[in-house]
Structure 1
Amino acid sequence: MNKIFLTICILFSALFLNAQDLKKYDRGSFIKGKDSIYYRVLFPENFNPAEKYPIVFFLHGSGERGNDNEKQLAHGGKLFLKADVRKNFPAIVVFPQCPENDFWANINITNDEKGKRKISFVEGGKPTKIMHAVQGMVKDFLKKPFVNKEQVYIGGLSMGGMGTYELLRRQRKTFAAAFAICGGDNTNNIKKYQTIPLWIFQGAKDDIVDPAFSMAIAERLKTVGDEVKFTLYPNANHNSWDSAFAEPELLPWLFSHNKN
């Protein structure tokens, strides 16, 4: 009984510490005209507003949508809290949250005869309501004197991977590099972001987002793009973000890029 009690105490302590760590992300919002979006932001340790810092925007998946301004930190939030990451890559990290009834990217979702979900991506088109707000939020952050405009990065997973491609093509002159995990896009949109260094991650056994989407973008970019990396995890299903976040070169690669 004592061992069981001790195990329970350790588990509760770990959960409490994780919750406490995530509280290091300050709550914020961008509200302007018809645009409104809530986000969490992590500032570097010993933040000095007189200095300039890189900034990373991260777009979550559909399961983290809502209005609690908290769920979006579920995947990726802890990565940027690691002591070595905070020490070696002092940066501002922003996690915006998409409302339950919206979507980062402009896509169409239908069901086939067997009820299986089918996703198709819009070529061009207007941004979704929340993507329009994201664009405004990004531009607002870039006005701040402590943001290094030469080191602006975007990344995301699943729905957020789709949103990453969407934001890249809508603000192609903004970002120095990007990464997309189990996302997708209409390959006709690639020409709008082919000059931006991009690392694509995908699980080969993904049964939520077809791996063919990531593969098609990677193959096209290898032909026309300036710099593309593609990592396929043979045994990973949809949660390939666990493997991507564990890549020791992900953040060194990302922060090594400056906008020309």
Structure 2
Amino acid sequence: MRQFYLLLLACLLGFAFPGSAQVFNPADPVITYNPNDPPETPTWGTISKWVRTVRSSVNFSNKDSYKCYYLSGMPFRLKFPKSYQHGVSDGKKYPIFIFWHGRGEGGGIYDNEYSLYHGGGKFCAAVDNGKFDGFILVPQSTTGFFGQPQYDFVKQILDELKLNNKLDPDRIFANGLSAGGTETWEFMFRYPKEVAGFLPISGCSIAYRDQVNVFKNIPLWIFQGGLDNNPHPSTTTAVITADQNAGGNAKMTLYPNGGHGIWNTAWDEADFWPFINRQHKANPWPAFGHNEFCPGETVSVVLGLTPGFDGYEWRKNGTLIPGATTFEYTATEFGTYDARIKRGTEWSPWSPTPVVVKQKEATQTPPLSIAGLMSKVIPAVDGKNYVVLTLPEGYTSYQWRKVGDPAIIGTAQTQTVNAPGQYQANVTEKFGCSSEWSAPFTIIPANGPNPPAPASGLTATAISKTAITDRLDRQSECRLQ
């Protein structure tokens, strides 16, 4: 009788017949491993329901929403989207977030809960709170490292989810930390047509800079600690620079005081989940991010998708462009450009986020200001015979001049001046048009005609035994320039 019930349980959980359809179900129970009565190891190459070993250190709420499965020696956990309805033909398709854990979270085939130690609770909350209405897939390495077999196993899982569980093939994302950060890269290299965006943390290799043509049109956001030595910031910077020099879609976030373990800071970035939600495999990328052109500038921008699909089509303003059937298209006119890709006989939707090629507005130079607590009068009350003028950072170039003199006196964000008079500046942005000169900023001579009145009515109040605060009367404050 006991064997009958064990066989019945095995059938219900998929252990005895793992090849049955609809392997994944959000109603699957989470079964705790019993070493005295272990499940039968499933047939190699077949996805099956599985068990877990409870890890008290993994203690976030709702962790049992990660269901337990097994494929070819690789246990894994899967969390379903919040709005997912199993077996309902509602026309919905859902993205998936694949997380590659670090070396320290490896475990045996029954120990697939430690893979959730870093990030599992944050990913769970993102789904439950509606920030990411998608699947979370967490493979478990038994050695601490993943390789090509596991990448292929994940691809098999993705194919099953596409077939039976409404996975959107155009919204597959990869993220990992440390060794898992490197494996995020390696999975992308193995399956570049699958990955719609990847976000490695504390994982990079200098060799990747020689492979930018594989991924330059795939959105990349990499996170690096400034104090990390593996990888060193120079390694990550070199790869990102190579990608950007090739016109790629990449950005890097550096935490100057961070070491290797920066993953929680990265996951807490306000744009982490919005960045993922914006991406789609059919969204084209304008080379160098250059889609705006100045008046009179020749319009020419290469729009790119991932190469290797079975077909491509491009449109301008909703009209099909004849002959535009490759993964790149050069736009030479203003307009809205979108595209779609073909897998076998199935076309993707048209780009949810098209590229709008348009005329750029003129760059407006911000008002000049004084750097820090300084006076615009020279010499100042404190004896300073100079003034430091400044503009906001982030522009690609700066120019300074004295009004009435065409000579450029500086090209930095700040400019130190030691003579009274009026000063102007202009700035340029990346791919920006020439800007007009700013409104003049006047430096007042203390000893010239109509000098400011000297300060008067100064009072001081002790706020401690070693500090005072002072105040000028209102009239004197107004006169002090």
- With normalisation by structure 2, the TM-score equals 0.43
Tell me how far apart the structure 2 counterparts of residues 17 and 173 of structure 1 sit (CA, whole Å). Answer: 34
SS in structure 2 at match of 1:236:
coil
Structure 1 16/64 Cα, relative in aligned 2: closer, same or farther at 3 Å?
closer
| AA aligned opposite 1:27 | C
SS in structure 2 at match of 1:90:
coil
Tell me how far apart the structure 2 counterparts of residues 44 and 135 of structure 1 sit (CA, whole Å). Answer: 19
Tell me how far apart the structure 2 counterparts of residues 28 and 225 of structure 1 sit (CA, whole Å). Answer: 40
| Count of residues in Structure 1 that have an aligned counterpart in Structure 2 | 219
| AA aligned opposite 2:153 | A
Say which one has the larger Rg: 2
Deviation, 1:161, is: 0.9
1:104 to 138, 142, 146: 146
2:75 to 2, 27, 38: 38
1:5 aligns with none
Q: Does 1:253 align with 2:275?
A: yes
Structure 1 39/209 Cα, relative in aligned 2: closer, same or farther at 3 Å?
same
2:150 aligns with 130
Tell me how far apart the structure 1 counterparts of residues 57 and 175 of structure 2 sit (CA, whole Å). Answer: 27
Tell me how far apart the structure 1 counterparts of residues 99 and 58 of structure 2 sit (CA, whole Å). Answer: 23
Q: Does 1:87 align with 2:107?
A: no
Tell me how far apart the structure 2 counterparts of residues 85 and 165 of structure 1 sit (CA, whole Å). Answer: 28
Deviation, 1:26, is: 0.8
RMSD, matched Cα: 2.2
Tell me how far apart the structure 1 counterparts of residues 82 and 57 of structure 2 sit (CA, whole Å). Answer: 21
Tell me how far apart the structure 2 counterparts of residues 42 and 84 of structure 1 sit (CA, whole Å). Answer: 9
Q: Does 1:75 align with 2:118?
A: yes
Answer whether contact 2:225 2:258 (CA < 8 A) is retained: yes
**1:222-237 alignment, distance < 5 Å:** 222-237=244-259
**1:112-151 alignment, distance < 5 Å:** 127=148, 129-151=149-171
Tell me how far apart the structure 1 counterparts of residues 180 and 190 of structure 2 sit (CA, whole Å). Answer: 15
SS in structure 2 at match of 1:220:
helix
| AA aligned opposite 2:150 | I
Deviation, 1:167, is: 0.9
SS in structure 2 at match of 1:141:
helix
Deviation, 1:83, is: 6.0
Deviation, 1:223, is: 1.2
Answer whether contact 1:80 1:86 (CA < 8 A) is retained: no
1:83-103: CA deviations, max 9, x gaps? 676323211110001121x62
With a CA cutoff of 8 Å and minimum separation of 6, indicate the structure with the bigger relative contact order.
1
Tell me how far apart the structure 2 counterparts of residues 104 and 83 of structure 1 sit (CA, whole Å). Answer: 25
SS in structure 1 at match of 2:62:
helix
Q: Does 1:162 align with 2:179?
A: no
SS in structure 2 at match of 1:177:
strand
1:198 aligns with 220
| AA aligned opposite 2:162 | L
2:292 aligns with none
Tell me how far apart the structure 2 counterparts of residues 195 and 16 of structure 1 sit (CA, whole Å). Answer: 39
1:90-145: CA deviations, max 9, x gaps? 11110001121x6225xxxxxxxxxxxxxxxxxxxxx3x33333333333333334
Q: Does 1:217 align with 2:239?
A: yes
- With normalisation by structure 1, the TM-score equals 0.77
In structure 1, runs of 5+ residues without a counterpart are: 1-14, 106-126
**1:17-36 alignment, distance < 5 Å:** 18-31=59-72, 36=73
| AA aligned opposite 2:106 | R
SS in structure 1 at match of 2:130:
helix
Answer whether contact 1:182 1:211 (CA < 8 A) is retained: no
Tell me how far apart the structure 1 counterparts of residues 136 and 247 of structure 2 sit (CA, whole Å). Answer: 27
2:193 to 173, 195, 198: 173
1:47 to 53, 60, 84: 84
Deviation, 1:197, is: 0.4
In structure 2, runs of 5+ residues without a counterpart are: 1-55, 283-481
Answer whether contact 1:164 1:180 (CA < 8 A) is retained: yes
